């Protein structure tokens, strides 16, 4: 058993609660949210049989969920190591703005691969600065990432002049956000690739085990020889890259850049990641759990819109369903 596995083993060998040891308890503990997802799909299919259970709607749900999945998986890494990043919404906006300005024919008119790389580098730089200040200087993650978020918004405003900007961008680039392959939007395939890569990183590599070790007991991880500072900085770097890729996908889909493009992803991404802790790896942030959480949010949002409910009712129902799903999964862990 290696050093990171030893730390995780001490948490995993806890005797489960009595209810969780019973078959129904194990089912609810590990699969409460997936079961709630299936129930929600069935409910909306009954309420809107002509529109909801269709391939076209599935593509719409997955396309809606794709950018959210990418950024939620990035924040999952930071949360798994016991930190918090509140700047990824601003990273999304700035990376998108840089990519658009670099692409637009009336702006810099660079080749789209160069513009895409520039957007990703912006996210990597923001993540690296966050990681350096938090891991090596010792600043608090919440204060640091909030400050970074404010600074990134200011830089983004320099690119967009606080307005939604439009322009002609190469069709080859917009195919990333609008193209279709094998019946699904290209974004869906890209998000699926990110899920596979992140799952491999978190579950099959030593670095992934280090992330979980830090989240379990940072002091023990340090004493076992893990380079805690380097691992923490890597986590923030991954979060920054994921946010930047999300910004690129948004620009590719809309062929524009909005100064508030990243704001709608902040709370849903965190919600999906926290939902993920109630399945697969109980109490731990994990890739598969976050992915199911993103799909759950996409299904709820799409279904409620199809029912033509007001925004107020949609918010109330979304909150109630999410809380109920977590309660169901947690109920299985009651002593």
CATH number of the domain that residue 56 is part of: 1.10.3470
Decide: 293 and 75 in contact? Cβ < 8 Å: no
Segments of 183-283 assigned E as strands: 184-185, 256-257
Decide: 273 and 286 in contact? Cβ < 8 Å: no
Number of H helices, E strands in the chain: 15, 4
| Residues forming beta bridges with residue 257, ordered by sequence position | 165
Tally of domains in the chain = 1
pLDDT tens string 272-287: 888 888 777 777 899 9
Give DSSP secondary structure letters for 170-196. -HHHHHHHH-EETTEEHHHHHHHHHHH
Contacts of 254 (CB under 8 A, 6+ apart): 177
pLDDT tens string 164-202: 888 788 888 999 988 988 889 999 999 999 999 999 999
> For residue 197, what are its two tokens?
């890569």
For residue 165, which phi and psi values (nearest 5 degrees)? Answer: -110, 140
pLDDT tens string 112-168: 999 999 999 999 999 999 999 999 999 999 999 999 999 999 999 888 888 888 878
Domain that holds residue 220: 3-331
pLDDT tens string 38-50: 888 999 999 999 8
Contacts of 126 (CB under 8 A, 6+ apart): 87, 90, 91, 94, 148, 152, 240, 243, 244
* Lowest mean per-residue pLDDT among 2-11, 40-49, 73-82: 2-11
315 — pLDDT class (breaks 50, 70, 90): confident
Q: Is 165 helix (H, G, I), strand (E, B) or coil?
A: strand
């Amino acid at each position: 058993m290696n050093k990171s596995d030893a730390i995780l083993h001490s948490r995993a060998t806890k005797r489960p609660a009595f209810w969780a040891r019973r078959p129904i308890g194990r089912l609810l503990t590990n699969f409460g949210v997936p079961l709630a997802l299936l129930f929600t799909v069935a409910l909306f299919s009954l309420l809107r049989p002509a529109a909801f259970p269709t391939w076209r709607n599935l593509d719409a749900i997955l396309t809606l969920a794709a950018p959210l999945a990418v950024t939620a998986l990035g924040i999952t890494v930071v949360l798994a190591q016991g930190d918090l990043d509140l700047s990824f919404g601003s990273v999304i906006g700035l990376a998108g703005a840089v990519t658009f300005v670099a692409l637009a024919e009336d702006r810099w008119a660079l080749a789209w691969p160069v513009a895409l790389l520039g957007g990703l580098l912006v996210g990597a730089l923001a993540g690296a600065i966050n990681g350096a200040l938090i891991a090596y200087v010792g600043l608090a993650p919440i204060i640091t990432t909030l400050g970074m978020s404010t600074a990134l918004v200011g830089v983004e405003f320099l690119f967009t002049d606080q307005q939604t900007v439009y322009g002609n961008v190469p069709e080859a680039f917009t195919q990333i956000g609008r193209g279709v392959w094998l019946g699904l939007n290209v974004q869906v395939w890209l998000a699926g690739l990110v899920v596979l890569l992140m799952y491999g990183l978190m579950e099959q590599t030593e670095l992934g085990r280090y992330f979980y070790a830090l989240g379990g007991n940072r002091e023990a991880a340090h004493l076992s020889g893990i380079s805690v500072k380097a691992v923490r900085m890597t986590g923030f770097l991954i979060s920054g890259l994921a946010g930047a890729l999300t910004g690129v996908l948004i620009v590719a889909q809309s062929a524009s850049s909005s100064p508030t493009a990243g704001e709608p992803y902040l709370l849903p991404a965190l919600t999906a990641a926290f939902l993920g802790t109630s399945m697969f790896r109980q109490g731990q942030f994990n890739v598969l759990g976050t992915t199911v959480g993103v799909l759950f949010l996409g299904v709820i949002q799409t279904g409620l819109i199809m029912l033509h409910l007001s925004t107020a009712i949609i918010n109330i129902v979304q909150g109630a369903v999410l809380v109920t799903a977590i309660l169901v999964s947690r109920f299985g862990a009651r002593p």
